[in-house]
Chains A and B, each alone.
Chain A
Amino acid sequence: MNKDLISSLRPAFVMTLLFAALLGIAYPLALTGIGQALFPTQANGSLVRESGRVIGSTIVGQAFVSERYFNTRPSAAGEGYDGLASSGSNLGPASRALATRVKDDVARLSGTSPGQPVPADLVTTSASGLDPHISPEAAFFQVDRVARVRGLDPAAVRRLVDRNVERPLMGFLGEPRVNVFKLNRRLDAFGAKPAA
């Protein structure tokens, strides 16, 4: 046993250092080089710039709470959509805190869009707190409100949403969804033009 132990020491420590250099330094740095060369947009976070400022990432959600915009889902990341503190609510299925929160959100949303059933994803927090998407139902649910606040034709806004619905890959991989950041940017561009 002692002989086994002593014979293991040099390989153990030297291999640790060699593998650290290969896997901990060379591997991630080589991939950083490849990524930055081949896919610079994606490798840096799929950021969107406007007049020099970064206004968002096309794949990470940001908070939309104003009535002028299609709203994102509730978020448990920090104060909401905190990019340095991703988190879900972690509330269990029989949690009173969960039930109270959902009840309040359902009441608030029913007030803004009376007579429509409230889509589940609009009153549940996502896993990451940074969900960039809402369901098509959740987007259509908000059409009348957004059109009213912006003074736009609801049918035109509905068509805009319809054009922004992303479909599952090959029909079954993923869910139908709407990227809220992309939709709201198009909404701003659309609203800048005279309402048709």
Chain B
Amino acid sequence: MTFQGWLLIAAFAGILLLLCKPMGQWLFALYEGRRTPLHRLLGPVETGFYRLSGIDPNEEQGWRRYAVHMLIFNAALALFTYAILRLQGVLPLNPLGYDGTSADLAFNTTISFTANTNWQSYGGESTMSNLSQMLGLTIHNFLSAATGIALAFALFRGFARRELKTIGNFWADMTRVTLYLLLPLCIAIAIFYIASGVPQTLAASVDVTTLEGAKQTLALGPVASQEAIKLLGTNGGGFFNVNSAHPFENPTALTNLVQMLSIFAIGVGLTWTFGKAVGNTRQGWAILAAMMTLFLAGAAITYWQEAAGNPVLHDLGAMGGNMEGKEVRFGIAQSALFAVVTTAASCGAVNAMHDSFTAIGGLIPLFNMQLGEVVIGGVGAGIYGFLLFAILAIFVAGLMVGRTPEYVGKKIEAREVKLAVLAIAVLPLVILGFTAIASVTGAGLAGPLNKGPHGFSEILYAFTSAVANNGSAFAGLSANTPFYNGMLGAAMWVGRFFIIVPMLAIAGGLAAKKYTPATAGSFPTTGLLWTGLLIGIVLIVGGLTFLPSLALGPIADHLAMINGQLF
């Protein structure tokens, strides 16, 4: 560990705190449907889109209608991408002449990008045409992110509105977030990436004769445009197989910092937006404090373990931190921090190979996802997931003081708690259930590259990543098989939409409730006590279920590693 490394982590956290309020204010303007300076330029596009598709943006929707419209839109997007992937062989912009992908790969990839997971069973540069990357995949990066933010807005309205049956208009929320937030930011960030060395061309590859006289073919493409939204929308699907570790995706330490900030920027801003929406920004800061505490603890542990290195390699004379699967330009600190950021949010981009992290260094990314990615979390998904935990936390607090719990002016009753538990229970059920199936079947056991406990970790990581809609991998797992494509595809779908629907039901129910002003007997939800309770509930309810599986995987792996037991 170095002073510079800790300085990096501190600087990163500091910049995030500075970004929180301006980002939150911009999001609040979109939440309210206010006019922004960008309306002059993009307003006609927005109204044109509504007119062509027959949408009245002022129509207020109840939670069921909001949910159905969101689901059907996502289904239509999925169909569109499935068709592109299957037909890429006969479509234009396919300079390397790739065939259409197999049915199971197209199924997996389509769900993966629709569900904001971006799990990649394929190697981008060796499978996807430029058209597939642009038209099939980039649009999901925008729209699954916009969907997530729209859903968070819907839940905010549930808390903020009084005795109303409606929670907003899905089309208006989704379109405004795309046009006035994601698109302009991505254009600016993509230009910065291009200037830093990220390619943006329609050429697919270039042949190189190296200084030693060997042949090397470098894959190229429209990388920067996809890179910008990949991180800002916490999607994580890279243009290349190795994602943000590839020098063309992430060429410098500065692009790396911008990528990490992009992953967290909107998620952090949404905590402020929530506070503003419910009339007290301290409500948002309390949530952010809990999130940042969990994040910094994880970052510190992973950085410490990766810097300490692998004793197996030390014994062989390769001293220092663990550089297997890491790039020299990022070193230990930026690789460890990126791994924790990408799994705390539901991004899943990687700039180092998590599979080759030390056992405990790799446990933290895994655990971050198992908590449901509520530590900042994916855009929209992080805050709505966290608010489900807040409902449980206030319920527990209510049990302790013996009165009906209230949160930001709304009584939390049996219906809310049941639905919150239902949404939260999806995660362990599917992760552990599917991992168990894969661990005892031939098709499942054919997947892992590594033997011993690390092989189990690879399977556990894959299903955790899929259900939590992260998309990062212990990439040694050979996942492009009908078994894994199918199982992981199902896991991603359940992990996204089986949480969203109960969440919207909560939003609808809350919106209809009366406002209950806080009294002397209300549990305060702005102070340190509340922040501590939130952290406790996230760790106990979210994390405890997974301890046995972590003992079988990373913890056994750690004991093997420090005792020199090889597999």
Spell out A's residues near B (CB within 8 Å). Answer: 1, 4-5, 7-20, 22-25, 27-28, 30-32, 34-36, 38-39, 42-47, 53-57, 59-66, 69, 73, 81-96, 98-99, 102-103, 106, 110, 117-121, 123-135, 168-169, 171-175, 177, 181, 184-185, 188
CB<8 Å pairs between A and B, sample of 9: A9-B72, A27-B183, A59-B197, A73-B328, A84-B218, A110-B317, A120-B319, A169-B254, A177-B329
* Residues of chain A contacted by B209 (CB below 8 angstroms): 53-55
- Whether A93 lies near B171 (C-beta < 8 A) is no
Contact present for B454 and A94 (CB under 8 Å): yes
Docked CA distance A35–B247 (Å): 18
Given A35-B201, A174-B330; 14 other pairs, CB 8 A cutoff: A11-B55, A23-B183, A32-B225, A46-B197, A53-B209, A83-B219, A84-B217, A86-B242, A87-B123, A90-B475, A94-B566, A125-B324, A127-B327, A177-B329
Question: B236-273 CB contact bits vs A (8 Å, 1 = yes)?
Answer: 00001110011110011110110000000000000000
Interface size on B, residues (CB 8 A): 126
With A and B bound together, what is the CA distance between A99 and B134 in angstroms? 41
Contact: A44 with B318, CB < 8 Å? no
Contact, CB under 8 Å: A64 / B72 = no
Would you call B402 an interface residue if the criterion is a C-beta within 8 Å of the partner chain's C-beta atoms?
no
- Are B138 and A27 neighbours in the complex by a CB distance under 8 Å? yes
The answer to whether A63 and B205 have CB atoms under 8 Å apart is no
Q: Smallest CB–CB gap between A129 and chain B, Å?
A: 7
A177 to B313, CA, bound (A): 22
Verify B206–A11 contact, CB threshold 8 A. Answer: no
* B540 CB-CB contact with A under 8 Å: no
Say yes or no: B476 contacts A60, CB within 8 Å.
Answer: no
B183 to chain A: which residues have CB within 8 Å?
A: 22-23, 27
* Bound: A91/B324 CA distance, A: 8
Q: Is B450 an interface residue (CB 8 A)?
A: yes
A84 and B126 within 8 A (CB): yes
Asked if A24 contacts B138 (CB within 8 A), the reply is yes
Measured CB to CB, the closest approach of chain A to B110, in angstroms, equals 13
Q: Contacts A94-B359, A172-B8; is A89 near B324 (CB within 8 Å)?
A: yes
**A12 and B75 form a contact (CB under 8 A):** yes
Q: Are A88 and B245 in contact, CB atoms less than 8 angstroms apart?
A: yes
Complex: A120 Cα to B212 Cα, angstroms: 24
Which of chain A's residues have a CB closer than 8 A to the CB of B69? 4, 7-8, 11-12
B566 touches A90 (CB 8 A): no
- Binding stretch for chain A, among B186-194, B289-297, B436-444, B516-524: B186-194
B residues whose Cβ falls under 8 Å from a Cβ of A: 4, 7-8, 11, 45, 49, 52-55, 64-65, 68-69, 72-73, 75-77, 80, 123, 125-126, 134-136, 138-139, 142-143, 171, 175, 178, 183, 186-187, 190-191, 194-203, 205-212, 214, 216-220, 222, 224-226, 240-242, 245-248, 251-254, 256-257, 309-310, 312-313, 316-331, 334-335, 350-353, 355-359, 449-454, 457, 474-476, 557, 560-561, 565-567
Q: Which residues of A contact B55 (CB under 8 A)?
A: 11, 15
Separation in Å of the B204 CB from the closest CB of chain A?
10
Complex CA–CA separation, A23 to B334 (angstroms):
31
In the bound complex, what is the Cα–Cα distance between A91 and B458 (angstroms)? 11
Do the beta carbons of B134 and A25 come within 8 Å of each other?
yes
Task: Give the docked Cα–Cα distance between A173 and B217 (Å).
Answer: 31
* Known contacts A84-B125, A130-B247; A91/B450 CB under 8 A: yes
B52 touches A99 (CB 8 A): no
Q: In the bound complex, do residue A93 and residue B356 qualify as a contact, i.e. CB atoms below 8 Å apart?
A: yes
A174 touching B252, Cβ below 8 Å: yes
User: In whole angstroms, how far apart are the Cα atoms of A35 and B566 in the complex?
Assistant: 49
User: Known: A32-B222, A133-B329. Contact between A55 and B208, CB under 8 A?
Assistant: yes
Contact of B194 among A39, A73, A94, A134 (CB under 8 A): A39
B330→A63 contact, CB < 8 A: no
With A88-B475, A168-B253 known to touch, is A99 a contact of B53 (CB < 8 Å)? no
Contacts A59-B197, A90-B475 given; does A173 touch B257 at CB 8 Å: yes
Contact check, B194 vs A23: say whether CB atoms are below 8 A apart. no
Give the contacting residue for B212; candidates A25, A66, A121; CB below 8 A: A66
Given the known interface contacts A20-B80, A102-B316, A123-B318, the answer about A25 and B135 at a Cβ–Cβ threshold of 8 Å is yes
Taking a contact as CB atoms under 8 Å apart, the answer to whether A120 and B201 are in contact is no
Shortest C-beta distance, A58 to chain B (Å), equals 8
| A60 in contact with B247 (CB, 8 Å) | yes
CA distance A135 to B68 in the complex (A): 54
B201 and A94 within 8 A (CB): no
**Bound complex: CA of A96 vs CA of B457, how far in Å?**
16
Within the assembled complex, what's the spacing in Å between the Cα atoms of A82 and B123?
Answer: 13
Asked if A93 meets B203 with Cβ closer than 8 Å, knowing A56-B208, A172-B7, the reply is: no
A98 touching B324, Cβ below 8 Å: yes
With A27-B138, A57-B208, A84-B217 known to touch, is A94 a contact of B567 (CB < 8 Å)?
yes
Contacts of B324 in A (CB 8 A): 88-89, 91, 93, 98, 124-125
Nearest CB of chain A from residue B471's CB, rounded to whole Å = 16
Q: Are B565 and A31 in contact (CB under 8 A)?
A: no
A136 to B41, CA, bound (A): 50
Q: Is the CB of B356 within 8 A of A88?
A: yes
Whether the Cβ atoms of A45 and B248 lie closer than 8 Å is: yes
Verify A90–B325 contact, CB threshold 8 A: yes
Residue among A5, A60, A83 making CB contact with B72, cutoff 8 Å = A5
CA distance A34 to B198 in the complex (A): 13
Task: Give the docked Cα–Cα distance between A103 and B314 (Å).
Answer: 10
B53 and A63 contacting across the interface, CB-CB below 8 Å: no
Q: Select one of A8, A13, A23, A127 contacting B138, CB under 8 A.
A: A23
A10-B53, A15-B171, A94-B359 known; A23 vs B139 contact (CB < 8 Å) = yes
Task: State which of B64, B171, B199 has its C-beta within 8 Å of the C-beta of A44.
Answer: B199
With A28-B134, A134-B328 as known contacts, state yes or no: A88 contacts B68, CB within 8 Å. no
Residue of A nearest to B207 (CB): A54
Interface centre among B8, B210, B358, B561 (most CB of A within 10 A): B210
- A94 cross-chain contacts in B, Cβ below 8 A: 312, 359, 452-454, 557, 560-561, 565-567
| Given the contacts A16-B73, A60-B218, A99 and B313 also touching, CB distance less than 8 Å | yes
| Contact indicator A45/B218 (Cβ below 8 Å) | yes
**Are B247 and A131 touching (Cβ within 8 A)?**
yes
Contact partners of A172 in chain B: CB under 8 A: 4, 7-8, 11
The verdict on A4 contacting B329 (CB below 8 Å), with A90-B353, A174-B252 known, is no
Q: Closest CB-CB distance, A11 to chain B, in whole Å? A: 4
Kindly identify which residue among B126, B224, B247, B359 contacts A61, using a CB–CB cutoff of 8 Å: B247
Kindly state the separation between the CA atoms of A8 and B55 in the bound complex, as whole angstroms: 9
Q: From A131, which residue of chain B is reached at the shortest CB distance? A: B327
Residues of A within 8 A of B357 (CB): 93
Closest CB of chain B to A120's CB: distance in Å?
Answer: 4
Report the bound CA distance from A175 to B5 in whole Å: 10
Q: How far is the CB of A112 from chain B (nearest CB, A)?
A: 14
Is the Cβ of B358 less than 8 Å from the Cβ of A93? yes
Q: How many angstroms from the CA of A160 to the CA of B425 in the assembled complex?
A: 60
Contacts of B256 in A (CB 8 A): 174
